[in-house]
Amino acid sequence: MLTGKRILLVIGGGIAAYKSLELIRRLAQRGAKVRAIVTKAGTEFVTPLSVASLSGDKVYQDLFSLTDEADMGHIQLSRDADLLVVAPATADLMAKMASGRADDLASTALLATDKPVLIAPAMNVRMWLHAATQRNLAQLKADGVTTIGPNDGDMACGEFGPGRMAEPAEILASVEAHFSRSQELKGLHALVTAGPTHEPIDPVRYIANRSSGKQGYAIAGALADLGATTTLVSGPTNLAAPRGVKFVKVETAHQMLAACESALPADVAVCAAAVADWRVDHAANQKIKKGAGGLPALNLVENPDILATLSSRASGRPRLVVGFAAETEKVIEHAKAKRAKKGCDWIVANDVSPETGVMGGDDNTVHIISASTTDTWPKLAKGEVAHRLAAKIAAHLKGARA
Ligand code: CTP
């Protein structure tokens, strides 16, 4: 059942919009509270009156309508939902979402939201297969958007192939799966580290690395999506905090360790940060001047190992500790040795050689290594790696709870 769940349905301008009426009916039957935005093009295919009759609420259409804004501003519209569903998601709506445009009520609400988004694409087969749409799709997936369909079939335009919107029953099942999944880590605390650390040399210079933080942020978001109370301890990045996580920003390895320890107890810790192995012993208090006494010598000392420290805690060790192994050669062999050395339960190994484009890129090919198994996943968007890993963590913790 979906009793009390608030769904904001965005109806785009495609022939499949008629199926969205059936979707509203089914969602309402399951107890969901549906509010709908119909785009201008959408009103060419369904009338706001029929949408309002089925949803039992007024239909939101115009970003600049005084009545709409007075009743329910576009920010409030997306805040007041548990899930946003875009059906049909046209090529144009997907392009707007992927590039962050906000030129009407639908795209503005989608940009303003911090809630999960599910899209059901529907378009002509050539439009679907076009490189631009596939690029937008990859971007949306990397942004954490879930997609359902499109299906293969005869299309209204007379062609055959992928592009038909998923049936209302399939979309409903996907919505229900979303909410049942959301409960899997409820009541549990997840701690995630992400990003690089910056180790100061003097007040203006520091030692850093190429980590973007994308994978760790995606994991924190995926764990929060499954209902975990999630703390993300992050080194400096350009990324926004994922929705629903407690965000703790740090600079150095020492600060990261302190933030992790004060976030304990945790049921699971995922250390995805690229922590600097060394810091400069006694960073200068003032900017080091060029030419004063020759070249400066950096006296490096070892940083604390956060993963090893969390793994070896005598009391309050998270039940599951997951590390990452960023390697450039003999990936599995090195990762296995790293898992044993650090004492974590699983290690997620990946090849970060420059030619893989993993560092800073959107995709990742990983191996999940435990004491007894090595599971190799295909090349996936970092968002998908995160969802799979979160699901694996949930299954493990549930097994351990039972
Ligand atoms: N890690 C950590 N604290 C550190 C160094 C690493 O928590 N000071 C964690 C990382 O978050 C990651 C794992 O240890 O989960 C492995 O990191 P990696 O950089 O691959 O390994 P290192 O221990 O630094 O070994 P090396 O650089 O020699 O490969």
Residue 1 forms part of a structural domain: no
* Residue 326 structural domain: 189-401
Please tell me what DSSP assigns to residue 165.
P
pLDDT level of residue 284 (50, 70, 90 thresholds): very high
Structure tokens at 361: 């890129």
Write out pLDDT tens, residues 95-111. Answer: 999 999 999 999 999 99
Q: Which pLDDT score, from 0 to 100, does residue 304 have?
A: 97
For residue 126, give both structure tokens. Answer: 């050539």
Q: How many CB atoms lie within 10 A of CB 281?
A: 10
The rounded mean pLDDT for the chain is 92
Give yes or no for residue 333 having a pLDDT over 90.
Answer: yes
Beta bridge partners of 248: 233
**What is the pLDDT, as a whole number, of residue 180?**
81
Q: How confident is the model at residue 72 (pLDDT cuts 50, 70, 90)?
A: low
Q: Which of 307, 331, 339 to mutate to test the pocket of ligand 1 (most atoms within 8 A of CB)?
A: 307
DSSP secondary structure letter of residue 196: B
One-letter identity of residue 393:
I
Residues 233 and 248: beta-carbon distance below 8 Å = yes
Q: Does residue 153 form part of some domain?
A: yes
* Whole-angstrom distance, CA of residue 131 vs CA of residue 136: 9
Task: Pick from 207, 268, 277 the residue to mutate for probing ligand 1's pocket: most ligand atoms within 8 Å of its CB.
Answer: 277
Question: In the structure, what pLDDT confidence band is assigned to residue 402 with cuts at 50, 70 and 90?
Answer: very low
pTM of this structure: 0.71
CA of 205 relative to ligand 1 center, distance in Å? 22
Q: List 73's β-bridge partners, or say none.
A: none
* CA 355 / ligand 1 centre spacing (Å): 21
Measured from CB, residues less than 6 Å from any atom of ligand 1 are 193, 253, 271, 273-275, 277, 303, 305-307, 323-326, 338
| CA-306 nearest atom, ligand 1 | 7
Rounded to an integer, the average pLDDT of 124-137 is 96
Question: Per-residue pLDDT tens for 2-25?
Answer: 999 999 999 999 999 999 999 999
Maximum CA pair distance of the chain?
A: 80
Do 194 and 303 fall within a single domain? yes
156 and 242 assigned to the same domain:
no
Output the domain CATH number for residue 15: 3.40.50.1950
Per the structure, the count of domains in the chain is: 2
Pick from 25-39, 63-77, 353-367 the range whose average pLDDT is largest: 25-39
DSSP secondary structure of 252-304: SHHHHHHHHHHH---SEEEE--B--SEEETT--SSPPPTTTTSSPP--EEEPP
Chosen domain end from 133, 157, 181:
181
CA distance 216 to 194: 5
Beta-carbon contacts of residue 399 (< 8 Å; ≥ 6 apart): none
Residue 239: DSSP 8-state:
P
What's the CA angle centered on 336, arms 193 and 366, to 5 degrees? 60
Is residue 139 in some structural domain? yes
Q: Which residue has the higher pLDDT, 399 or 131?
A: 131
Number of H helices, E strands in the chain: 14, 22
pLDDT digits (tens, 9 = 90+) for 226-279: 899 999 999 999 998 887 899 999 999 999 999 999 999 999 999 999 999 999
Report which protein residue has its CA nearest ligand 1's atom 17: 325
